[in-house]
Amino acid sequence: MNQDIAAILLSEEEIAKKVAQIGAQISQDYTGKDLLIVVILKGSVIFAADLLRKITIPVNIDFIAVSSYGTGVKTSGVVKIIKDLNCSIEHKHVLIIEDILDSGKTLHHLTELLKTRNPESVQVCTLLNKPDRREEEVDVLYSGFDIPDEFVVGYGLDYAENYRNLPYIGILKREVYEK
């Protein structure tokens, strides 16, 4: 698996430090508020698990699965809800946890959808941000790292459901996904 990685973009240590900083900020910003963390499956699970352990205030957690990529490397532009939330978000502060903000289409669609369900607020927290790829603007309250326009895997991010378990974020060799 490591032979498919062209370079390590972010190490385990860099990620852990940033996750701790974001967790501390969320804890401070949402003290005394009814906070619901909405984790986008599957890629955000590892980031969310580590982040939740750094948040020191009470939170509720739910999961949503959306798809706009399938097994490809570029978004199709069509966002599908594969698994919806199990709980009501009415009158709650919703914080969406995302692994990577790329074109913005998926997060834009999701935030607009959740806003129709009468939450107190809807905000976004993403570990990775690719500003060069943005096609749809998304307000992001918490962002870990701005990264270049490279295809990255690891720490939950995948290519065709592989590489999620890498403890770092690496740049995938082009020959792997340009077959």
Query: Catalytic amino acids?
Result: 102
Q: How far is CA 3 from the centre of its chain?
A: 25
Residue 37 · residue 50 · CB < 8 Å = no
CA–CA separation, 147 and 9 (whole Å): 8
State both tokens at 134.
């943005």
CA–CA separation, 97 and 38 (whole Å): 6
CA–CA separation, 93 and 122 (whole Å): 6
For 60-77, b where at least 16 C-beta lie within 10 A, e where not — what string? eebbbebbbbeeeeebee
At residue 158, the 3 state secondary structure works out as coil
Q: How far is CA 113 from the centre of its chain?
A: 17
